[in-house]
């Protein structure tokens, strides 16, 4: 099996900015499980830590999508699914913004 390579990463924090509440990895798994069951998709979830200015840090996740040869998609279908996932994760984890990295550009959705 073979298809064109196309990888997407979605970056999201786990801490709610205004309350300080922190979500767990299991919350992310639960959110994604519902989506992948609905559309027939497989994603990866990698825990990460974001380190930023003034001694700040936050735990988060990187959600990965690939063009899987067993169930190939078009590039535009993958972009749509990634955007749907990013919006869903942003809303359910109560994040102000998330970033989607496509091979050719990156976008941040949410508050400016």
Distance CA 4, CA 9 (A): 17
Residue 1 belongs to a domain:
no
Q: Give the helix ranges, DSSP H, for the chain.
A: 25-39, 75-92
- The pTM for the full model equals 0.93
Residue with tokens 């519902």: 34
pLDDT level of residue 20 (50, 70, 90 thresholds): confident
Q: How many domains does the chain have?
A: 1
What's the pLDDT tens digit per position in 52-99? Answer: 888 789 999 999 999 988 888 999 999 999 999 999 999 999 999 999
Residue 2 lies in a domain: no
Give the residue numbers spanning the domain of 92.
Answer: 7-110
Name the percent of the chain in helix, strand, coil, to the closest 5.
30, 35, 35
The CATH number of the domain holding residue 72 is 3.30.70
Q: Is residue 56 part of a domain?
A: yes
């Amino acid at each position: 099996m073979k298809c064109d390579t196309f990888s997407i990463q979605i970056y999201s924090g786990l801490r709610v900015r205004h309350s300080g509440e922190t979500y767990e990895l299991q919350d992310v798994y639960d959110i994604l499980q519902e989506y992948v069951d609905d559309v027939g998709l497989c994603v990866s979830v990698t825990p990460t830590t974001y380190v930023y200015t003034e001694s700040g840090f936050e735990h988060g996740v990187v959600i990965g999508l690939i063009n899987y040869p067993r169930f190939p998609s078009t590039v535009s279908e993958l972009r749509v699914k990634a955007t749907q996932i990013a919006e869903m994760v942003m809303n359910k984890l109560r994040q102000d913004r998330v970033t989607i990295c496509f091979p050719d550009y990156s976008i941040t959705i949410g508050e400016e």
